[in-house]
Amino acid sequence: MIDNSSIQYTEDNIKSLDWQEHIRLRPGMYIGKLGDGSSHDDGIYVLLKEVIDNSIDEYVMGHGKNIDIQIEHGKVTVRDYGRGIPLGKVIDCVSKINTGGKYDSRAFKKSVGLNGVGTKAVNALSSYFRVQSCRDGECKMAEFKEGVLIKDHKLAKSNEANGTIIEYIADETIFKHFKYRTEYVENQLWNYAYLNAGLKLNYNGKTLVSKNGLKDLLERKTDVENLLYPIIHLQAEDIEIAISHSTQYGEEYYSFVNGQNTTQGGTHLAAFREAIVKTLRDFYKKDFDSRDVQTSIVGAISLKVEEPVFESQTKTKLGSQNMSPEGATIRSFVMDFMKTNLDNYLHKNKEIADAILRKIQQSERERKEIADIKKIANQRAKKANIHNKKLRDCRLHLTDGRKVEDQEKLATTVFITEGDSASGSITKARNVYTQAVFSLRGKPLNCYGMTKKVVYQNEELNLLQHALDIEDGIENLRYNRVVIATDADVDGMHIRLLLLTFFLQFFPDLVKAGHLYILDTPLFRVRDKQKTFYCYSEKEKQDAISQLRGKAEITRFKGLGEISPNEFGDFIGDNIRLEPVILGEKTRIEDLLGYYMGKNTPERQEFIIGNLKVELDQIASDEQEVIDLSPVPENVAEEVV
C-alpha cells in the first residue's frame, strides 16, 4: 500500500488553466467520448455538429437558405450565408469562453447552442482553425492552433456574400487514427434537412434537402413496403410528429429538440411514447397493454423548447420538464397535442385506424402465445447467470446495484466471442471496468424467418438477449457497443453472419441505432529483434516486411485464441479497430436476410463464385486461401464488415 501521508498540499498544487488548456485536458466534459470516427457519436461528429448548429440557427432566424459543407483529407469547411458574426467580435466568439449571441433570447429564442462553448471546443481541439466573417462588403479573419491565436488578419474589403466560414482540422493527438465516415456525416446532415424544410445542405458536391420534414425522415429510415399503413404526419407550432407501425420487431424512434438529435431521448420522447398509448386506448376504448401498442412502432418527434436543459454538454438527452420557463410541462403539451390531433386523424381515416387495431391485436396474440415459454426461459436464464461463466461482466455493472449513468454507459463494450480460448484471451486483456465478454458455445442457430418464440426456446440466444437486457427493447441496453469478435476464417465468418441474422431478425433497432460492431483483429505479426508490426491485411504485411528489409519472422494468426493476452491488450484498448454494422438507405432487412441466409438461390451462387478468389501471394506465404466477400450486390446491403 502506498503511503501518501508525506505528500505536501500547498499553494503550488493549485493551478489555473486557460480555457483551451482545460478543454484539451478534459475534452470529455465538452464533447463526450473521443473515438476514431467508427461510432456515430464520436467526438469528430460532435465538433462538426457544434459548427453547423450555429449556421442552422441563422437559417431558423430567417437568414441564408444554403449551407456548404466540405470534408476532404481530414479538413472540414462549413460556410453559411447568414448575417455573419459581428466583425468586432469574431475572435471573441470562437476563443472567449461563455461569449456568444445566444445569451440574448431576443435573437435566439429556441436555439440549441446556449452555453457559449461549442465553437470554442472545436477551436481548442483542432490543430488548425480558421474563422472568417463577411458583412456588407467587409471581412474579418483569424487563424488558431490548438485554440491559440496565431494570426489576426486586418479587416479587409471583400465581394464575398454575407455569412461565416469555419475551417478546421481535428487534432490527431487527441482524435487518434480518426476518419470521417460518409454514412454518419450524411445522416447527421439529413437530420438537419428534415428539421428545416427547404434548407439546402451542399455536402461534397451533393445537395440534401427535404420538403416534408419528419415524414421524409421515416420514409428514408424505414422500408416503406414494410409499413402497415401510410405514415401519419402531424405538426403545429413547436411540435412535429410522424408515426407508423411496421412488420419488424422492436420499437424505432427518432427524437429532436431545437434541431438537436437527442439520441438518448429524454422527457419529450417519454411523453411521446406515453401519449401514443393513451390516445389509442381512449380512441378504441380498450385498455391495451402498452407493449402491444408500442411493438413495431416507427416514430419521430421534434420539439422546440425555450432554454432547453440537457443532461450533458453533448445534448443527447433532454432533461427539461417545461416547454418554457412560464409554460406548460412537456408531458402535458405533447399529451394534449396527440389527444387532439391523432384522435382527429383516426376519426377521419378509418382504414388506418382499422390497420392499427389489427396490429395491436396481433401483437397481443403473439405475446400471450409465448407467455409460458418466456416465463420458463427467464427462470432458466436467471439460474444460468448464477452458475455459468458465459458472461464475464464489467465492474461498472457490478457496483452494488448502482444505476449506471448514461455518460458512463457510453464507455461500455461487450465482446461476443466463440469458444473458451478466444474468450479467455479477451477476458485477460480487457479493461475490466468497462469491457465485458459473452462466450458462445458452438455456432448459434440460424433464426432466419423464425418468430421470436425461438429466442426463448434456444438457450444460447435467450442468454444473449438477457446479457444485453434487450428482451423488452433496446431502451435498457446495458452496453453502448455490442462487438462481434470471431476468428478471421470461414467458420468465424459463418458465426458472424448467424449473429448478424439474430440481431437483424429480432432486434433491428439495435443495429439501426448504431450499437453493433465487428472487431477487426490482426491477421499477421511481423517482427525482428527490434520491431514488431501487427498487420490487418496482406498489404500491411508486405509493407512491414519491407520496413524490416525482408529479415522478419511472420506469424499468421488463424484464431483469436492464438493471440496472447498481452498482445490482445493493444487490439481492444486504445488501438481498437471496430467496423460499424451499417444498414444502407432503403435496405429491406427481409430481402437482405433472404439473400444471405435463405435457401440457396442462383443469384447467391453467382455472387459467391464471382467473388471467390485465390490470392497467389497469400498461398506462397502461408498456404491460406483468402475469401473476399466484401463486394455486395447493389440494392442488397451496405453492411460495413
Query: Cα(134)–Cα(136) distance, rounded to whole angstroms?
Result: 7
Q: Residue 631: pLDDT band by 50, 70, 90 thresholds?
A: very low
Q: For residues 526 and 528, what is the distance between their CA atoms, to the nearest angstrom? A: 7
Residue 195 confidence (pLDDT) above 50: yes
CA distance 297 to 448: 21
pLDDT tens track for 584-629:
766 777 777 777 777 766 777 777 777 665 333 443 344 333 333 3
CA pair distance 543, 552, nearest whole angstrom: 12
Residue type, 525: R
Residue 237, pLDDT above cutoff 80: yes
pLDDT per residue as tens digits for the range 133-190: 999 999 999 999 999 999 999 988 988 899 999 999 999 999 888 899 998 999 999 9
Please report which confidence band the pLDDT of residue 8 belongs to, taking 50, 70 and 90 as the band edges.
Answer: low
H or E element, residue 108:
none
CA terminus-to-terminus distance, the chain: 46
Confidence of residue 16 (pLDDT cuts 50, 70, 90): low
Pairing verdict, β 297-303 and 413-418: unpaired
Which helix (H) or strand (E) is 496 found in, with range?
helix 490-506
Res. 364: pLDDT tops 80: yes
How far apart (Å, rounded) are the C-alpha atoms in residues 230 and 349? 11
CB 588 within 8 A of CB 247: no
- The reported pLDDT for the residue numbered 550 is 66
Residue type, position 542, single letter = Q
Q: Give me 61's grid cell.
A: 432566424
Nearest CA to 230 out of 82, 366, 128, 346 is that of 346
Q: Which of 275, 297, 445 is nearest to 360 (CA)?
A: 297
Distance CA 632, CA 374 (A): 37
* Grid cell digits, residue 303: 420539439
For 108-139, b/e burial (b = at least 16 CB within 10 A) is bebbbbbbbbbbbbbbbbbbbbbbbbbbeeeb
Query: pLDDT tens for residues 427-461?
Result: 888 888 888 999 888 888 888 888 888 888 888 88
Residue 409 has a pLDDT of 65
- As a whole number of angstroms, the distance between CA 269 and CA 295 comes to 16
Given a contact cutoff of 8 angstroms between Cβ atoms, the answer to whether 320 and 238 are in contact is no
- pLDDT higher than threshold 50 for residue 547: yes
What pLDDT, in 10s, does the model give residues 367-408? 888 877 878 877 777 766 655 668 888 887 765 555 666 666
Kindly give the interhelix angle for 350-369 and 330-348, rounded to the nearest 10 degrees.
Answer: 110
571: cell is 487490439
DSSP 3-state assignment of 558? coil
Write the pLDDT tens digit of every residue in 457-507.
Answer: 888 888 898 889 888 888 888 898 999 988 877 888 888 999 999 999 899
pLDDT digits (tens, 9 = 90+) for 504-543: 989 988 988 889 999 888 888 888 888 888 888 888 888 8
In whole angstroms, what is the distance from residue 574 CA to residue 577 CA? 9
Tell me what percent of the residues of the chain surpass a pLDDT of 90. 32
pLDDT band at 544 (very low <50, low <70, confident <90, very high): confident
Can you list the domains of the chain with their CATH numbers? Answer: 19-208 (3.30.565.10), 214-362 (3.30.230.10), 371-521+557-584 (3.40.50.670)
49-106 pLDDT, tens digit per residue, is 999 988 988 888 888 899 999 999 999 999 999 999 999 888 888 888 765 555 454 4
User: pLDDT tens across 240-288, in order?
Assistant: 999 999 988 888 899 998 888 888 888 889 999 999 999 999 999 999 9
Which pLDDT does position 549 carry in this prediction? 75
Report the alpha-carbon distance of residue 67 to residue 59 in Å, rounded.
Answer: 9
Average pLDDT, the chain: 82
* This prediction's pTM: 0.76
Alpha helices in 155-311 (DSSP H): 182-195, 214-221, 267-284, 290-294
pLDDT at 530: 85
